[in-house]
Amino acid sequence: MNRVADEPAMARPTGNPSVLPRKLGLISAVAVLVGSTIGSGIFRSPAGIAVKLPEIGVYIGVWVLGGLFTLCGALTYAELSALFPNTGGVFVYLREGFGRLPAFLFGWSELVILRASALGAIATVFSEYLLRLLGQPVSVEVHTAGGVVQHSAPAVHYVAVAAIVVVAIFNITGVSFGALIQNMTTGAKYGALLLLVLAAFVVGPRLDVPSTVLPVTASGASVGSFGLALISILWVYDGWADVTFLSGEVKQPSRNLPLALILGTCSVLAIYLLINLAYLHLLNVDQIAGSRLVAADAAYRIVGPAGVRLVSLAVMISAFGTLNGSMMTGPRIFFAMADDGLFLKKIASVHSRFQTPYVAILLAAGLAIVFVMVRTFEQLADTFVLGIWPFYAGGVAAVYAMRRKRPDLPRPYKVLGYPLTPAIFLAAAVFLVGNAVIDDLRNVLAYLRTGAAVSGTGGTLLVFAIILAGIPVYWYWVRRRREGILQG
């Protein structure tokens, strides 16, 4: 449906066949945010962060700082979500704040790299832990000219594909069913983390540190290592904005969307800080740095091998819940693009029986299956983080644009601490993206001079090149649409 650029999104007429019904309540919206955020990162990322920041105070400080940045983003999106409670979230904020081109680039990036990368990475983690619980190998040795290299076992890819198909079916069947799955898995993963926190401080360490922990003596923290650790933490916090993609399906959006963003984000910050304090109570920083699955090793100190199995089960459930949340939210971006005339109109189709954007869900699932079959977890995760943050920043900056352009619009919620709160988030985004680009430029220049490349050289620049390739695609699409050649 076409609208002039400055028409408030809240004024959309009723009766549009592409409109999705509002079926999600506050609890389900909070579960989407929490479930999409808490994935495998909190179970595995502390090791890498402890390597970079081996001092307890600095280690906890960077978790607090990452949480502060995330909360600033959530508080800002709370205003925008109440102002524009439409399917698409960030897509809508970019369109209303800065026009259709930035919104298209977000949708384009989600289509060609971001959503498929996110779904593929999460499905891979779920697959690995399911296979481990079943006693099946998750890696194979491949002999190359450079030596022996570990690759994912073929079964990892096939199980990941099956998981993607299952969650796609869940979400096509109905948003209420998808929300039920999300509520259950979110409750299970949050409860598992809370139980580990309570056990750590009530029962405490009863057994020796497991042999799987190989203590690492890291060098002191530096500005560079602090920046790298912060990037890792922002990946662990990612998912807080996903609930905005479902804005058009949330009941009483002016009330529930801001509440979901604030309550859900605060719930994540609280459990992340508590679980890290529990880790530090059971293991020292060097031991955390040497633990590939710190939650499992921490649980081992309390109850032994049974704790490792329970944590592995929790990680599997956590990854499945995050996969389901990503499948609930991501396809709504494609739906919003198509509904706005920036993509094939068929993608905005709503299932006559289930009232879900089934074509958009099938598209997202299909792309994710392709990605998960040809790329590794690390490639998938890195691509997603680098590509999404410029758009998060653009969405936050839209609050300034809308305050200036449309001060007359009713704002059920106004961001706390404006204008400082959005500025803090934007500073974090500039640091994150700028640091990644500068580091990659340095690696590329070093490769041109010496012929030796570190792992990932050119990856950041390639991601942004793909994003910018959407500009000519946008102009081509607009021109063809004006000529009437494309029929939605």
Question: What tokens appear for 57 in the block?
Answer: 């105070």
pLDDT at site 16? 45
pLDDT at site 18? 58
pLDDT at site 96? 94
Residue 168: pLDDT band with limits 50, 70, 90: very high
Indicate the range of 137-151, 293-307, 311-325 predicted with least confidence: 137-151
Indicate if the pLDDT at residue 393 is higher than 90.
yes
Indicate if the pLDDT at residue 362 is higher than 90.
yes
Summary mean pLDDT of the chain: 84
Indicate if the pLDDT at residue 204 is higher than 90.
no
Residue 433: pLDDT band with limits 50, 70, 90: confident
pLDDT at site 352? 86
Contact 24, 179 (CB under 8 A): yes
pLDDT at site 139? 66
Element housing 413 (H / E): none
* Nearest CA among 279, 333, 224 for reference residue 45: 279
Indicate if the pLDDT at residue 487 is higher than 70.
no
CA atoms within 13 A on the CB side of 206: 12
The beta-strand segments (E) located in 46-205 are 139-144, 147-152
Question: What tokens appear for 418 in the block?
Answer: 């404006």
Residue 102: pLDDT band with limits 50, 70, 90: very high
pLDDT at site 215? 67
Indicate if the pLDDT at residue 155 is higher than 80.
yes
Q: What is the percent of the chain where pLDDT is above 90?
A: 34
Residue 403: pLDDT band with limits 50, 70, 90: very high
Indicate if the pLDDT at residue 474 is higher than 70.
yes
* Nearest CA among 297, 300, 294, 250 for reference residue 272: 294
Indicate if the pLDDT at residue 108 is higher than 70.
yes
Most confident of 62-76, 119-133, 206-220, 348-362: 62-76
pLDDT at site 11? 37
What letter represents residue 210's amino acid?
Answer: P
pLDDT at site 2? 34
Indicate if the pLDDT at residue 318 is higher than 90.
no
Q: Who has greater pLDDT, 223 or 439?
A: 439
Residue 304's region, left for phi above 0, alpha for psi from -120 to 50, else beta, is left
pLDDT digits (tens, 9 = 90+) for 16-37: 445 778 888 999 999 999 988 9
Domains of the chain: 19-142+149-437 (1.20.1740.10)
Q: What is the pTM of this model?
A: 0.84
| 465 C-beta neighbours (distance < 10 Å), count | 10
pLDDT at site 74? 96
Q: Who has greater pLDDT, 213 or 301?
A: 301
Mean pLDDT along residues 299-308: 88
Q: Who has greater pLDDT, 466 or 399?
A: 399
Mean pLDDT along residues 408-437: 90
Indicate if the pLDDT at residue 10 is higher than 80.
no
- Let me know the angle formed at the C-alpha of 346 by 341 and 347, rounded to the nearest 5 degrees: 75
pLDDT at site 141? 57
Indicate if the pLDDT at residue 94 is higher than 80.
yes
Question: What tokens appear for 396 in the block?
Answer: 């936050």
pLDDT at site 116? 84
- Let me know the angle formed at the C-alpha of 94 by 460 and 69, rounded to the nearest 5 degrees: 65
Element housing 187 (H / E): helix 175-202
pLDDT at site 471? 94
Contact 245, 87 (CB under 8 A): yes
Residue 222: pLDDT band with limits 50, 70, 90: low
pLDDT at site 342? 80
pLDDT digits (tens, 9 = 90+) for 186-199: 898 899 899 999 99
Give the residue carrying structure tokens 């594909």: 161
Mean pLDDT along residues 291-303: 85
Q: What is the C-alpha separation between 252 and 249, in angstroms, rounded? A: 9
| 91 C-beta neighbours (distance < 10 Å), count | 28
Residue 14: pLDDT band with limits 50, 70, 90: very low
Indicate if the pLDDT at residue 405 is higher than 70.
yes
Indicate if the pLDDT at residue 339 is higher than 50.
yes
